[in-house]
Amino acid sequence: MSSGQATRIEGAAPGTDPLEQLARRIVEDHRDRLPDLTSVTLLRPRAHGDARLRRLLLAAAREQGVEALLGPRITSLRQWVMEQDPAHGAPLLGDHGRELMLFEALREHPQLFERHDTWRLVDTLLELFRELTLSGATPPAAYEAFVQRLREAYGLGGDDSACLEPLGREARIVHTLWHAWLEQQRQEGREDPDARYLRALACLEPGNIPPGSLYAAGYDELLPAETALLNGLTREGRLHWLVGLPAAPGMPQPTSDGADPQTPFSAFLDQAFDTDGAPLRERALAFAQRHPSSPATPRLALLGAEDAEAQAAALDIRIRAWLLEGHRHIGVVTDDRRLARRLRALLERAGIDLDDPGGWALSTTRAAAALERWLEALEEDFEYQPLMDVLKSPFVFPERTEEHLFAVYRLEQDVMLRENIPRNLARMREHLFKRARRLGPASERSTRAVASLLDALEEAAVPFRGLVRGAARPAGDWLAALQESLRRLGMQASLEADPAGRRLLEEVRAMAADLGSRPLSMDWREFRTWLGRVLETRHFRPHPRPAPVRLMSLGETALARFDALIIAAADGEHLPGHEPVRALFNDGVRHALGLEAWHDRVARQQGRFRRLLEAAPRVLITWQRERGGGPQRPAPWVELIDAFHRLAWGAPLRDEALEAWLKTPDALVQSPDTAPLPATPQRPAPLLPAAHVPAKLSASAHQDLIDCPYRFYAARGLGLAPPEELAEALSKADYGERVHLCLQAFHGGTPELPGPWQGPLDEAHRAEAQTLLETISKAVFEKDLEDNFMHRGWLARWRALIPAYLDWAIERAEAWQVQDTEVSREVALATGTVLKGRLDRVDAGEAGQGVIDYKTGTPPAQKEVDAGEAVQLPTYALLLEDSQRVEYLHLDRDKVKSGASLEGEALTALREAVATRLLQLLERLRAGSPMPAWGDEKACQHCTMDVVCRRGSWEQGL
């Protein structure tokens, strides 16, 4: 290194503030020109410290008696180099253009990758190609020359016989796709941005840069071409380069660090990390002799939290404590984005702003969620859930008048839920008008509003008509359809008014611009993958605002200084992390090709970590001791510091105050609500006002009263029984309803269905009866088959049962004849109570009438009926007073058989006992008797009132 270069490359020791050092150097170098520093240009990797640098420059100038400054230009090396390039050349490829071009190249060579996700390969190869370009290790035009280079990198020399199949495959993949990619750029007249940057670096003439006008700081990772340029500028006296110590791989080594004498804390860290010296124990004991008191205890603390939530809570508490102590610039350094999101939520709960320059993925924003739900609605034929999410989104139909909200509500409640239409706009419209004909003028307003809403949805979907389920189309057609569809939905204007929405639209426009006239075709799945990938990989960064807490990754901290600092998630997974599994080229080959190897990255990360430990007077390092059900160790560097300290002074580095606060509930953010907490829940036993005792009881309500008085109170007395949910797939109960309808149409007839059966039901007419019942069944299940192909299984299940049912019915016809089906009955009991119900089937026989209740599920057992616990059959006997027999008919899988039944004296006695008990219970309810929750396991298993009853909370105290 020449003397000139040595004087222009200055080191910034870990304990010094590099920006303060740089500010003093600039002011000292240009003292004669103060206050005008406009001729100075400062190069730095990131803009995080720009405001602080300006403050430090002003402070240094005031020491020289200058109260104001015309500040220097602050920019990045890449931006500055590109501005020096007079020849712009061919148009640049955008980010999306590079990805699409490589996507096309992969398509044109499918033999290279058989069953791999194309877009994932794009990511892998694009990263590799960028590294090859920027490092100057691009594959030569001759395939044989590239293979020879790889042979040498793998240590195989020139032995052709040693060219193993994997080596040949790697070489073929990279060489073929690389040159295909370059050929596409040439044909389209485009230039890769990285290639343009390298050309600008090579063309830059140091002699054109005024001496002493250029400064660089904060760089610990440079390309070979960048390093060569900066070294050349320093030799010419054009650049003053401030290099952080210890110098990272590939960085020059300054001859002087320009720092104050080393502090005890710096010496402690140097000794701990000096793994090439004496054994750790010897170093620790020798250091403790020189420093009887630990210099690390006042500045550094370690905390291993139990789990992820405990770690986030520790960060939250420590930050709030530091703020109360008066610290105003607190840093949190972590590469764990999940922890960062949790910390953001905890700080927001405490009213503390967090500055996150990295932002978050576009896919996590409300704007992207609304877009995704609209595309899901299109591809799923306007299925209920995505459609409702779209219609209730503030980004859609932004005028959102009362009439619009009314239409959305009526579409959901009247058409989709009550008519059970889970998808398809045409079917929704059909059933809307069927409902209007049934209800007459009363439904005129809602019908008009819903029809208008369906029109608007159909109009918005027109640009995608024929595309979603069609063949591959030019990618430009998809983007044009997307933008037009968003305009018709009103989303275009809504997104423009939202910061994240504007960012999303910027990416959509960039996709269209980078696509240009490229003849790239995609089907719907490929387009959705492309768009989803863009939303996942592009970030939204809100407009920065002053915040006391700044979140950063380890790679962004080169010039950072704080009042207090937390290094979080300092475990082996994140610090330095795991060596990536690369699809192409192992670490040794990468190093031989001039690409960054894993050990270089580890060394760089260790230097960053070492410098960061002195970036604040108070530093806390945290990690979680358990992850995924197993133990987790701290990062090796953290373990090294802890072990050194324990050996030297016999004590760990602890934050005892924080450990105590974590065990204290009062350390958490407290609610402003000072009202006392409610008492421990007890078994509910409310009183039902007499006015709320139902005047009419159904058989199911009667059963609720017997099963659990509280269920009756909530569901029947207070009217809290939930509405039926939209059935996108048939449940067992839905299947039973359809079987009931089939048998009703077969025996008694129903409008719009074939049947009923006419004539005798015997073996002679069995074939005709089976044909009719199957025809009826097909008609009943037909609508369900339109909604869900899986419903064919329910139809097949019922059709397989028809022969067994006819066996039973023919045998039954010898003694009983079907008299009526689906009979609704009401009977007035004493005290004004009316009992109501629907009888599935009433037969007539020699002894009188009989009631049959079809059961496709598991009916109550005979002992439950005889004990009066299952009251459905006695209730039916009350509804049909002269019935002589009531019974269940079990219809399940391959069997049809009679279930529990009552007849004769047993029926008479139980009917009277059940009626007497019911009247007594109702009288007690009107008199104010409590209605306790039984907590019976069987009754509670499928209870819809569990969210009101909250059995799980009060059962703990029993």
pLDDT of residue 4: 38
Residue 829 has pLDDT above 70, yes or no: yes
d(CA 241, CA 234): 7
Residue 50 has pLDDT above 50, yes or no: yes
Averaged pLDDT, 470-477: 90
Q: Which segment of 178-192, 539-553, 666-680 scores lowest on mean pLDDT?
A: 666-680
Which tens digit of pLDDT belongs to each residue from 599-625? 888 999 999 999 999 999 999 999 999
d(CA 905, CA 254): 109
Q: Which residue has better confidence, 64 or 783?
A: 64
Residue 1 has pLDDT above 50, yes or no: no
pLDDT of residue 797: 85
Q: Which residue has better confidence, 939 or 88?
A: 939
| CA angle, residues 290, 294, 299, in degrees to nearest 5 | 135
pLDDT of residue 7: 55
Averaged pLDDT, 58-64: 94
Helix spans in 490-580 (H): 491-496, 499-515, 524-537
- The structure tokens 């192992």 sit at 586
Q: Which amino acid is at 509?
A: R
Averaged pLDDT, 453-465: 94
Which tens digit of pLDDT belongs to each residue from 696-717? 888 888 998 998 999 999 888 8
Q: Which two tokens mark 92?
A: 């640049």
- The structure tokens 């380069």 sit at 241
Question: Is residue 241 within 8 Å of 7, Cβ to Cβ?
Answer: no
d(CA 645, CA 653): 7
Say how many CA atoms lie within 13 Å of 20 toward its Cβ.
13
Averaged pLDDT, 457-462: 95
When pLDDT is cut at 50, 70 and 90, the band that residue 788 belongs to is low
Q: Which two tokens mark 61?
A: 């100038």
Averaged pLDDT, 367-373: 95
d(CA 371, CA 233): 50
pLDDT of residue 3: 36
pLDDT of residue 563: 96
Q: Which segment of 204-213, 467-476, 557-566, 588-597 scores lowest on mean pLDDT?
A: 588-597
**pTM, to two decimals:** 0.74
| CA angle, residues 254, 260, 264, in degrees to nearest 5 | 110
d(CA 393, CA 487): 15
Proportion of the chain above pLDDT 70, given as a percent: 92
Measured in degrees and rounded to the nearest 5, phi and psi for residue 627 equal -150, 135
When pLDDT is cut at 50, 70 and 90, the band that residue 596 belongs to is confident
Q: Which two tokens mark 460?
A: 């918005």
pLDDT of residue 790: 59
Q: Which residue has better confidence, 37 or 881?
A: 37
Proportion of the chain above pLDDT 90, given as a percent: 52
Q: Which two tokens mark 643?
A: 């072990």
Q: Which residue has better confidence, 239 or 172?
A: 239
pLDDT of residue 167: 62
Pick from 109, 149, 143, 144: nearest CA to 125: 109
Which tens digit of pLDDT belongs to each residue from 513-531? 988 878 889 999 989 999 9
Averaged pLDDT, 168-191: 82
Question: Is residue 394 within 8 Å of 477, Cβ to Cβ?
Answer: no
Q: Which segment of 154-158, 228-232, 618-622 scores lowest on mean pLDDT?
A: 154-158
Going through 328-427 in order, the beta strands assigned E by DSSP cover: 330-333, 354-355, 360-361
- Chain-centroid distance of CA 371 in Å reads 15
pLDDT of residue 387: 95
Averaged pLDDT, 757-765: 90
Instruction: List the beta bridge partners of residue 551.
Output: 332
Question: Is residue 263 within 8 Å of 284, Cβ to Cβ?
Answer: no
- The structure tokens 């600008």 sit at 200
Q: Which residue has better confidence, 877 or 107?
A: 877
Kindly report the number of other CB atoms within 10 A of residue 502's CB atom. Answer: 13
Averaged pLDDT, 235-240: 90
d(CA 212, CA 192): 33
Q: Which segment of 176-190, 289-303, 785-799 scores lowest on mean pLDDT?
A: 785-799
pLDDT of residue 935: 83
When pLDDT is cut at 50, 70 and 90, the band that residue 851 belongs to is very high
| CA angle, residues 725, 726, 728, in degrees to nearest 5 | 130
Q: Which two tokens mark 335?
A: 């590469």
Question: Is residue 304 within 8 Å of 625, Cβ to Cβ?
Answer: yes
Helix and strand element counts for the chain (H, E): 38, 23
Question: Is residue 221 within 8 Å of 605, Cβ to Cβ?
Answer: no
Residue 209 has pLDDT above 60, yes or no: yes
- The structure tokens 């009703």 sit at 744
Which tens digit of pLDDT belongs to each residue from 394-441? 999 987 678 888 999 999 988 888 888 888 999 999 989 988 888 888
- Give the strand pairing for 626-627 and 630-631: antiparallel
- The structure tokens 């324990």 sit at 646
d(CA 674, CA 711): 34
Pick from 527, 541, 542, 554: nearest CA to 468: 527
d(CA 46, CA 866): 82
Going through 290-399 in order, the beta strands assigned E by DSSP cover: 300-305, 330-333, 354-355, 360-361
Instruction: List the beta bridge partners of residue 92.
Output: 191
DSSP 537: H
Exposed, middle or buried, 674 (CB in 10 Å: 0-12/13-18/19+)?
exposed
d(CA 941, CA 835): 26
Residue 671 has pLDDT above 80, yes or no: no
d(CA 150, CA 593): 8
Largest CA distance in the chain: 124
Residue 168 has pLDDT above 70, yes or no: no
Measured in degrees and rounded to the nearest 5, phi and psi for residue 422 equal -80, -10
pLDDT of residue 673: 76
- Give DSSP secondary structure letters for 174-222: HHHHHHHHHHHHHHHT-B-HHHHHHHHHHH--GGGSPTT-EEEES----
User: Angle, to 10 degrees, between the axis of helix 499-515 and the axis of helix 524-537?
Assistant: 130
pLDDT of residue 957: 53
Residue 116 has pLDDT above 70, yes or no: no
